[in-house]
């Protein structure tokens, strides 16, 4: 069942102990560019993109690193999801890469493996209402923070896909293209994507007229046609241009009839 307020879903290895997350301070900006630029070589199975800054180095013996990524910034409906993953160096997972470059079946298989073998993982979301209230960038960063805070082990370093980091009491480094360059971020990308796809299939059962199971909320020709035919649902993002335009059109029509 969907909830407007996201609840992080976590797994914990029996040898790990939960760490409390820090409460989110809504008076602070949702992100800050991170100034730490230590260098790290990419995992052997992941090819670094050309002409990009080097990846941050860290000592696996002294650092507990989580990768963080989001899914669902572009769709017109449904929540935005984020995941955080701490991989186990003793249990490597082959085939990790950007979730968008994997088939749905391969994503699901890897997601199962990640949940089984990672030291800790967490998935969180921000609702459509939060997206409309905060904007999608801030909502994505908030979902990332919720995912990090949902981990059962507190990492010492968070590697974030993209160019911005959520404000959190933790060292962070933003890596453009990190979902295809860093194994931890690839794993987070896969968990966020599969969790969001599953959520949109559930939304399809609530609102079957829109075809959410096919387009996952993205602005495809099918989705736009169904949106015009059936109107705006409670799970559509009202600040997104196609949805807002339809709402404005309906408001103008209603005003004309009232006159």
DSSP for 30-90 reads: SEE-------BPPPTTSPPPTTSPPBPP--TTT--EEEEEEE-SS-SBS-EEEEEEE--TT
d(CA 178, CA 68): 9
Q: Which conformational region is residue 135 in: left (phi greater than 0), alpha (psi within -120 to 50 degrees), or beta?
A: left
Q: Pick the closest to residue 131 from 201, 169, 75 (CA basis).
A: 75
pLDDT for residue 25 is more than 50: no
Q: What is the mean pLDDT of the chain?
A: 83
The model's pLDDT over 173-221, given as tens digits with 9 standing for 90+, comes to 999 999 999 999 999 999 999 999 999 999 999 999 999 999 999 999 9
Angle in degrees, CA 22, 74, 145, rounded to 5? 5
Phi, psi of 122 (to 5 degrees): -150, 145
pLDDT for residue 1 is more than 80: no
In the chain, the domains with their CATH numbers are 9-204 (3.30.420.10)
Confidence of residue 255 (pLDDT cuts 50, 70, 90): low
Identify the residue with better confidence: 46 or 237: 237
Paired tokens of 243: 């949805």
Paired tokens of 241: 């241009």
Say how far residue 36 (Cα) sits from the centre of its chain: 23
The mean pLDDT of 114-123, rounded to a whole number, is: 98
Other Cβ atoms closer than 10 A to 110: 23
């Amino acid at each position: 069942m969907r909830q407007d307020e996201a609840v992080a879903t976590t797994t914990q290895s029996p040898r790990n102990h939960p760490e409390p997350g820090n409460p989110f301070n809504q008076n602070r900006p949702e992100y800050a560019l991170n100034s730490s630029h230590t260098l790290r070589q990419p995992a052997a199975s992941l090819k670094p993109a050309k002409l990009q800054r080097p990846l941050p180095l860290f000592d696996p013996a002294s650092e507990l690193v989580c990768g963080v990524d989001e899914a669902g910034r572009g769709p017109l409906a449904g929540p935005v999801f984020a995941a955080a993953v701490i991989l186990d160096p003793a249990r490597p997972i082959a085939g990790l890469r950007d979730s968008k470059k994997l088939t749905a079946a391969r994503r699901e298989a890897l997601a199962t493996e990640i949940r089984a073998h990672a030291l800790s993982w967490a998935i969180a979301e921000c609702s459509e209402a939060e997206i409309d209230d905060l904007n999608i960038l801030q909502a994505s960063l908030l979902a990332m923070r919720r995912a990090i805070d949902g981990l059962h082990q507190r990492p010492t370093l968070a590697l974030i896909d993209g160019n911005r980091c959520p404000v959190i009491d933790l060292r962070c480094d933003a890596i453009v293209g990190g979902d295809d360059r860093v194994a931890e971020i690839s794993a987070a990308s896969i968990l966020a994507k599969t969790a969001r796809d599953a959520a949109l299939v559930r939304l399809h059962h609530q609102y079957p007229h829109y075809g959410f199971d096919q387009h996952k909320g993205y602005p495809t020709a099918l989705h736009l046609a169904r949106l015009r035919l059936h109107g705006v649902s409670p799970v559509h993002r009202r600040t997104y241009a196609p949805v807002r335009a339809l709402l404005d059109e309906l408001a103008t029509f209603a005003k004309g009839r009232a006159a």
